[in-house]
Amino acid sequence: MIDIDATDRRILTVLQKEGRISNADLSERVNLSASACHRRVQRLEDEGVISQYVALLDPRKLDRPSTVFVEITLNAQSEDVLDAFEREVARIPDLLECHLTAGTADYLLKISARDTDDYARIHRRYLARLPGVAQMQSSFSLREVWKTTALPV
């Protein structure tokens, strides 16, 4: 853990929602001089609190409106089985997220697809070939009700 004060939290809150904000505008928003603000942002980057800046894309505009959540249960929990699965799942180009979970499934995947036919292609080409899989259950998102990428700081 690094020491994050209230000013750092204000900076992080703004940057999570407006990653392209200029340093001058950011410093004004968080009530700091431009040089002090720049130093703080640089420290947060250097210490890995800010790991990267990205552009968030609208999947509908890119013909990827379907989100599929896939629960996967493996046939064993050995280090070799977990490693082989994780190595192969990372190669799926349509994969947005993969989480090792506690509960009924071992992994939860988030897949981006154009439609059900596209998901069938992804399933045949990638998911069905993943090593160590005992069971797989897919759930299609009907509608995104709420989403954020911003962590509470």
Q: Which tens digits make up the pLDDT trace of 66-106? A: 999 999 999 999 999 999 999 999 999 999 999 999 999 99
Please give the distance of CA 59 from its chain centroid, rounded to a whole number. Answer: 14
Quote the tokens at residue 94.
Answer: 């349509």
What is the pLDDT at residue 1?
78
Structural domains in the chain, CATH included, are 6-46 (1.10.10.10), 66-140 (3.30.70.920)
CA distance linking residue 153 with residue 34, whole number of Å: 22
Distance of CA 136 to the CA centre of its chain: 21
Mean pLDDT of the 17-24 span: 97
Q: What are phi and psi of 107, to 5 degrees?
A: -135, 150
| Mean of per-residue pLDDT scores for the chain | 97
pTM higher than 0.85: yes
Which pair of tokens denotes residue 43? 């420290």
* pLDDT tens, position by position, 33-76: 999 999 999 999 999 999 999 999 999 999 999 999 999 999 99
